[in-house]
């Protein structure tokens, strides 16, 4: 009996223990949300992004290599920032300067060039194509839309030959640059007697410059306002004022020290050298430099070389021209005068010729500036 009681007591204890465990599990299942989770713990991994497919960059398109074309400057020229005579000048290149042509404008009137300046610095700019000699037509790309022409709607005047642009209305004012023949310009005024015209010109004061009226054509000359030397407008047009003609002031030309034995320039004409040259200077009398000597040597497979000559002048004096051959003055070659254009000369090859340009002696000061252009006839 005692044995059975003991057995029953043991079974009772086991059942009680099991019941207690079941109740504890239920209590945990009903626990508050704030209670620590005693279930299976899983690690939270950081979010990962699948990289978006991106296009593989293509290699840059190779720019075509431009083979520079060698050229030689046949006149003293301005190098411009842009292909226009109204553009800012980067400096001057002397005759026979060597350049590399790397482009051109759409009109083929300007070449983009690499050059070495007189102070030894290299640069890139634009030069007038007619004054750059090459062995053949340069095969270079067009890198500009073209220079202004007389047909542009913004221009109201056109040059009739190559002329200087000066800082003021007179030959005693400093030269700002050159305009080429048939360049279109914007006229903005004129001096009191209409002998000088004011134009838009980047290198000048207030972007203005002055040119000699005789070498400009326009339909609006009478409508231009009158401008004094300081740039101030003094009347709307010549139709609103009648004024006395102002006498220009002249100064002696500086002596450049040239002679028949040591000319100012000496140019050889040939297929591989200059086909044209351009020279500008000034003369005066009785004071200053009274004469200039310019030498040239035609070199050609033919017995004779045909040349065309232009001569333009400014001032109150008269310019006289002599032609010399081998140290001997020629008396029956003709007569070259200021204003002549396409004056034809036929010269023997392998001979040295010289132009002597001079101003005759006068009691009162006379002054004349000139531009001489010599080129091989086509």
Retrieve residue 350's tokens.
């392998």
Give the count of domains, the chain.
3
Q: How many CB atoms lie within 10 A of CB 323?
A: 18
Rounded to a whole number of angstroms, the CA Rg of the chain reads 44
Per-residue pLDDT of the chain in tens (378 residues, 90 and over written 9): 555 555 555 565 555 555 544 444 333 343 344 444 443 334 444 444 344 444 444 444 344 567 899 999 988 888 988 887 767 788 888 888 999 999 988 778 889 999 998 888 899 999 988 889 888 888 888 876 544 443 445 788 888 877 888 899 988 888 887 777 777 889 999 998 888 999 988 777 888 999 988 888 998 888 899 988 777 887 665 554 434 344 567 888 888 889 999 998 888 877 667 778 888 889 999 999 999 999 988 887 778 888 899 999 988 889 999 999 988 999 988 899 998 989 998 888 888 999 999 998 888 899 999 999 888 887
77 shares its domain with 174:
no
Domain boundary among 138, 168, 191: 138
275 shares its domain with 358:
yes
- Contact partners, residue 10, CB within 8 Å, separation at least 6: none
124 shares its domain with 163:
no
One DSSP character per residue, 149-168 reads -TTSTT--EEESS-EEEESS
Residues facing residue 321 across a β-bridge: 357
Cα–Cα distance measured from residue 98 to residue 96, given in angstroms and rounded to the nearest whole number:
6
Cα–Cα distance measured from residue 51 to residue 157, given in angstroms and rounded to the nearest whole number:
65
pLDDT tens for each residue of 166-209: 899 988 888 887 777 777 889 999 998 888 999 988 777 888 99
356 within some domain = yes
225 shares its domain with 272:
no
The CATH number of the domain holding residue 362 is 2.60.120.380
372 shares its domain with 303:
yes
One DSSP character per residue, 39-93 reads S-----PPP--PPPP-PPPPPPPPPPPP--EEEEE-B-EEEESSSSTTSPEEEEE
Q: Is 243 left (phi over 0), alpha (psi -120 to 50) or beta?
A: beta
> Residue 240 gets which letter from DSSP?
G
321 within some domain = yes
Domain that holds residue 307: 265-376
pLDDT tens for each residue of 291-304: 999 998 888 777 88
> Residue 274 gets which letter from DSSP?
B
12 within some domain = no
The CATH number of the domain holding residue 173 is 2.30.30.40
H or E stretch covering 10? helix 2-29
H or E stretch covering 27? helix 2-29
> Residue 321 gets which letter from DSSP?
E
Cα–Cα distance measured from residue 183 to residue 187, given in angstroms and rounded to the nearest whole number:
12
Q: How far is CA 97 from the centre of its chain?
A: 17
216 within some domain = yes
194 within some domain = yes
Domain boundary among 138, 168, 193: 138
H or E stretch covering 20? helix 2-29
């Amino acid at each position: 009996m005692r044995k059975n009681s003991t057995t029953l007591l043991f079974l009772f204890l086991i059942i009680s223990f099991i019941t207690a465990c079941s109740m504890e599990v239920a209590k945990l299942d009903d626990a508050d949300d704030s209670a620590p989770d005693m279930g299976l713990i899983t690690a939270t991994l950081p979010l990962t992004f699948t990289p978006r497919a991106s296009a593989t960059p293509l290699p840059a398109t190779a720019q075509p290599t431009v083979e520079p074309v060698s050229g030689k400057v046949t006149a003293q020229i301005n190098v411009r920032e842009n292909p226009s005579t109204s553009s800012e000048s980067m400096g001057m290149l002397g005759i026979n300067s060597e350049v590399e042509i790397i482009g051109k404008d759409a009109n083929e009137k300007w070449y983009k060039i690499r050059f070495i300046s007189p102070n030894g610095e290299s640069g890139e700019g634009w030069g007038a194509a007619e004054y750059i000699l090459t062995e053949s037509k340069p095969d270079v790309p067009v890198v500009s839309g073209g220079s202004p022409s007389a047909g542009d709607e913004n221009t109201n005047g056109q040059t009739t030959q190559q002329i200087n642009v000066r800082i003021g209305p007179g030959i005693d004012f400093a030269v700002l640059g050159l305009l080429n023949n048939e360049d279109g310009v914007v006229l903005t005024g004129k001096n009191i007697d209409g002998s000088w015209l004011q134009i838009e010109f980047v290198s000048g004061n207030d972007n203005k410059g002055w040119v000699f009226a005789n070498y400009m054509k326009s339909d609006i000359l009478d409508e231009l306002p009158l401008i004094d030397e300081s740039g101030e407008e003094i009347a709307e047009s010549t139709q609103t004022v009648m004024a006395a003609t102002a006498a220009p002031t002249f100064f002696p030309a500086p002596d450049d020290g040239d002679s028949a034995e040591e000319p100012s320039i000496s140019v050889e004409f040939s297929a591989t050298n200059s086909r044209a040259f351009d020279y500008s200077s000034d003369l005066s009398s009785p004071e200053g430099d009274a004469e200039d000597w310019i030498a040239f040597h035609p070199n050609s497979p033919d017995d004779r070389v045909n040349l065309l000559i232009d001569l333009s002048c400014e001032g109150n004096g008269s310019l006289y021209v002599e032609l010399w051959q081998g140290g001997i003055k020629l008396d029956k070659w003709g007569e070259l005068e200021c204003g002549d254009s396409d004056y034809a000369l036929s010269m023997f090859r392998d001979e040295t010729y010289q132009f002597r340009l001079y101003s005759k002696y006068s009691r009162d000061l006379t002054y004349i500036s000139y531009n001489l252009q010599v080129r091989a006839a086509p």
